[in-house]
Amino acid sequence: MRKSSIPAIDIFAGPGGLAEGFSNAGFDIRLSVEMDEHAHNTLRFRSFCRKLRKAGKNNELIEFYSKPESDNTFDQTKLTAKHVRLWKHAEKEAMQATLGETPAKEVSDRIEAALGKEPKDWVLLGGPPCQAYSLVGRAKMKGTGEKFENDHRHLLYREYLRIVAVHAPSVFVMENVKGLLSSKHKGTAIIDQIKSDLSNPRGAIDEAPLRRKRGKVEYDLYPLWKPKKEPQNALEQNKSHIVNAENQGCPQARHRLFIIGIRRDLKLKMHYLEKFAKDVSAWEVLHDLPKIHSHLSKEKDRGWLNVINEIIDSKADKWMQTHQPDVRKSLKQTVQTIRKHRGSGAIMVQRVGTALPELHDWYRTEQTPVCLNHEARGHMPTDLHRYLYSSSFSEVHGYSPKLEQYPASLLPAHKNVNKKTGKAIFNDRFRTQCKGKPSTTITSHIHKDGHYFIHPDPAQCRSLTVREAARLQTFPDDYLFCGPRTEQFKQVGNAVPPYLAFQIANVIKKILCQTLTA
């Protein structure tokens, strides 16, 4: 076995999902590069937390988390000022830079400095920004007339490619969205071009730094799941790179493309992920979080309670008298308990209950007794009615109702909704995350689309909090997301699930352990 940790560099890092998983698997995160200010702040503070724990100071971290400021925020300087050396190391590890705009030499210099004396083996992590590849992103651009092929994000993979070519990692892990499989640029399939380039990166890029490098750097490319049979064509081969997170113990249906590159001269054997026998449902990881209710937009708890009381007392309201007896019964049961939930949460809440045994230790880092970023957002009164109906319907039927299954009085006044039929362009605009199955994909637009992420407990009558979205993404409960709540949601939605990253890291570790047994 190795006596030292394997270095890893994480680019296009987001809030650090890949780095968190690899760090927990024993890798040494030397550098994380991210352009977004708030995600970079999250990365930097998490790096500091890892270093603080390694120094045996976890009690100080627990004390810090237990005393948020009066404005429901954390003043990080109170902690970082006590550990200046560790904070400086964290600042060095987390680099804010926009790849493609920040000079390439500056990025390369930081990578070389982070790696120090050329290590025998190291790993490159990351996925170029994927909005241009995603099916939703492409649909948005099609609707606005924006040219998909001209989006600069479309070619950012070449920044990843340049780093592979210049620095020649032993192994790289490239992550992207499933939409990459159908993406084309000037008539050519993007995925085929990317794989061709990654196989021979120095042959694909002609830059001065590369001309000084001697010899070829070639890679063999692999999927993370071992194909059951040999792919018969390029399409089957490309599809084999898709990993379904729900098959790996994550409580979320998230399908992402992963390409593993192993440097050919190392002659290493590929290892693969092992699928889990059972899916983990959303409810299994959400049910033990503190029960909270939402509030009305720009109002306090009293406004929320007034709306709930109106719902409870309006026996003549047509939608409460739904023609579905089972849903009507569920609604009546819900209103008996809905007044019991106190408070709309906070940046820090005490943890309660017991989570799914398999993920218990994962969510509870170092037994830190808190959950962070668990605060409900405000909702419109009409949306509370819809949330209550949708979650009650889901409780009974095990699936979320389409708009055509809503009482007419609850249909939104939207130009894309036909009031007579309930038909709409997005027929599942209001969607409850059902208890008995993994959640739908947590996306970056969760920050402005809470309707699509309604909590499965009707009595809580709200959309998911940042912490609940982070639970579905398998971030530990003490992982603090920085910035305004809108930015926190974006960070969570853009990340690789850390628990999936942890499993990938263990695969990479098995691969690299073939090169050194001392």
335-367: b (≥16 Cβ within 10 Å) or e: beebeebeebbbbbbebeeebbeebeebbbbee
**Residue 422, phi-psi category: left (phi > 0), alpha (psi -120 to 50), beta (remainder):** left
For the purposes of burial, counting CB atoms within 10 Å of the CB of 79, is it exposed (0-12), middle (13-18) or buried (19 or more)? buried
User: Can you point out the beta strands (E) in 338-441?
Assistant: 345-350, 370-375, 378-379
CA–CA dist 72, 347 (Å, integer): 6
CA–CA dist 394, 400 (Å, integer): 5
CA distances from 10 to 95, 97, 113, 126, 510 (A): 10, 12, 14, 6, 19
Contact 137, 179 (CB under 8 A): yes
Tokens 């008996």 belong to 336
What single letter denotes the amino acid at residue 480? L
Which of 49, 130, 250, 482 is labelled catalytic? 130
3-state helix, strand, coil split of the chain in percent (to 5) is 45, 15, 40
CA distances from 158 to 99, 105, 178, 348 (A): 10, 15, 18, 40
The candidate with the shortest Cα–Cα distance to 226, out of 275, 265, 280, is 275
Contact 347, 467 (CB under 8 A): no
Where do the H-state alpha helices sit in 185-281?
A: 190-199, 201-204, 208-211, 234-239
Contact 281, 438 (CB under 8 A): yes
Please report the DSSP string for 90-143 in residue order. HHHHEEE--BTTB-HHHHHHHHHHHH-S--S--EEEE----TTTSHHHHHHHHH
125 forms beta bridges with 10, 173
Give the H or E element holding residue 488: helix 485-494
Is 371 considered catalytic here? no
> Which tokens belong to 268?
């290493």
Q: Which residues are annotated as catalytic?
A: 130
